[in-house]
Structure 1
């Protein structure tokens, strides 16, 4: 017959953090990503207003540019609000950095196309020249944001807050009586 050990090691897992609260925290605006989001929104709204101020704002190219700029404005604004109110941190299981990386890459490509199409029409209206410039600036800003997200994914960083992890806790009990 086999003899049993005199003690038993048990390992349990305990959560190290409590779920974060939804709260307003303006410190995100001071980060590089926060500043880039603010600048992206400014480029979006400037381009949108510039196209609307042109004489040929009903042209299909102008419509495409306005679609890109308003989609970028509202989506970036919602993401900014999510960061300011720590909603990103609250729903930490969602791969926010990957979602933002894909979003920024798509908007960068769309702005390249939209700004190029508007630049071709810029000879007919000065405001379209301003819109094309703001479109190219927006393209660069979204490209920078895409690069920031890529680096964060590569470095294993989290979108906001500390990672929610579990740590093993070992407990040793005395001899077992049979």
Structure 2
């Protein structure tokens, strides 16, 4: 039992089947790993970016272009808060979601957070497959990803677990996530 003078960093007791939230840089595989993890656990899956697009009836790129990043982050915060109310769900967040103080606090209080990590070279190769990343438009992906990682690493490090997303079959990373959760 926690006393009133327990440290502010004390985590609440986890609830059964609480949300599993994947955080990390764009291109690390949160959506791909999340879908497979949800299937293995018989959980639902939600991609926060897809949920934002449904709610806004616009693509993430269109939201960034029309309203800017602060507007997008506000919508992202609300969508993730709604998803965190559910049990038995795996949530893939956008790369910057866990950097928002309010979103991060909610995820840490109500879910199990997994930082999926990969080397910058791997991320550059993966993000090159899709041209829909607003933060990379017209810029050098390696430079942008290096700068973003420098800004975000300390936030990601607050996640409950840290798992490497390897250049290997996705099921290997899913297995590593399952081991981390079970530990």
**TM-score (normalised: structure 1):** 0.30
Q: Which has the larger radius of gyration?
A: 1
